[in-house]
């Protein structure tokens, strides 16, 4: 992977936290920042997938609800009932 240098502005407090984390992980500042950005990108992509899946599942649930309602309305309509070979009218 090619690397591009980037100049960014970071509040001093955040940079101090990054430096503490860098020391604790025995990594340089750039590695820690790259990993943090990579994690954020991956989290964002996962969030987008979950939101899209949620939308799809809500649509499926709504379709299933309509299908169930249609089926139940058909079942509730009066019609002939058959029992032991004898045709009787449904009440």
Cα–Cα distance, 42 to 34 (Å, whole number): 12
Say which residue the tokens 């430096």 belong to.
19
pLDDT at 78: 67
What pLDDT band is residue 66 in, cutting at 50, 70 and 90? confident
pLDDT at 89: 60
Say which residue the tokens 């984390």 belong to.
21
The contacts of residue 25 (CB under 8 Å, 6+ apart) are: 32
pLDDT at 54: 86
pLDDT at 80: 62
| Model pLDDT for residues 8-65, shown as the tens digit of each residue | 999 999 999 999 999 999 999 999 999 999 999 999 999 999 889 888 888 888 888 8
């Amino acid at each position: 992977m090619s690397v591009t240098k980037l100049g960014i502005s970071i509040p001093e407090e955040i940079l101090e936290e990054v430096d503490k984390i860098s020391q604790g992980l025995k990594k340089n500042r750039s590695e820690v920042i790259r990993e943090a950005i990579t994690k954020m990108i991956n989290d964002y992509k996962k969030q987008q997938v979950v939101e899209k899946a949620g939308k799809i599942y809500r649509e499926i649930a709504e379709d299933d609800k309509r299908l169930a309602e249609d089926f139940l309305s058909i079942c509730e309509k009066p019609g002939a009932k058959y029992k032991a070979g004898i045709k009787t009218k449904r009440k």
